[in-house]
């Protein structure tokens, strides 16, 4: 392999891509996100592992008082954790069922109760400018590659 070939390999250029397929809406009561990860090799690659993670980005407050925190709600490795080889132009799909558990702020927990307490909780969420966004991220750890391929999709949990 030429110098430029090794440089491109190390930076993850022309190696492989990750394509994540998930539903746009997921029932949070079900506690599982179903989907699949497709790996497409542009050149021969050794895949050490494939990982899927559901995260919540929780934002509260405004201006200088704004706080952003990230929580991992679910995480798993695909393919039994065994490394495998992909030939050039090969496509491999891995299906998954990612279990997760919600983490709620005290105001969000109160808002889910319903009735008068739920109304108070919703008001507290609104007043605190609380917002949560959910994302599923799939990444493949490739041997000899510094910048591994990743795909991230937004998901609405209701």
Residue 107 banded pLDDT, cuts 50, 70, 90: very low
Residues in CB range of 80: below 8 A, 6 or more apart: none
Alpha-carbon distance of 33 to 146, in angstroms, equals 29
Range from 12-16, 106-110, 111-115 that averages highest in pLDDT: 12-16
* Domain at 3-99+134-153, CATH class: mainly beta
| 60 vs 43: CA distance, rounded Å | 44
E-strand stretches of 2-157: 16-21, 25-26, 32-41, 45-60, 67-78, 84-86, 91-99, 131-142, 150-157
pLDDT category, 113, cuts 50, 70, 90? low
- Domain borders along the chain are 3-99+134-153
Which residue, among 20, 151, 17, 152, has the nearest Cα to 96 in the 3D structure? 20
Which residue would you say has higher pLDDT here, 140 or 8? 140
pTM: 0.77
């Amino acid at each position: 392999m030429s110098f430029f070939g090794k440089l491109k390999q190390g930076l993850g250029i022309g190696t492989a891509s990750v394509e994540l397929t998930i539903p746009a809406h997921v029932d949070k009561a079900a506690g599982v996100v179903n989907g699949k990860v497709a790996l497409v090799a542009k050149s021969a690659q050794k895949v050490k592992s494939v990982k899927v993670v559901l995260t919540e980005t929780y934002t509260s407050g405004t201006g200088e008082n704004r706080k952003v925190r990230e929580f991992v709600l679910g995480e798993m490795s695909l393919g039994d954790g065994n490394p495998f080889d992909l030939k050039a132009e090969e496509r491999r799909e891995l299906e998954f069922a990612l279990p997760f558990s919600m983490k709620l702020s005290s105001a969000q927990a109160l808002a889910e109760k319903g009735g008068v307490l739920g109304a108070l909780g919703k008001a507290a969420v609104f007043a605190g400018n609380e917002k949560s966004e959910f994302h599923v991220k799939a990444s493949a750890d490739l041997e000899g590659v510094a910048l591994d391929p990743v795909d991230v999709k937004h998901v609405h949990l209701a």
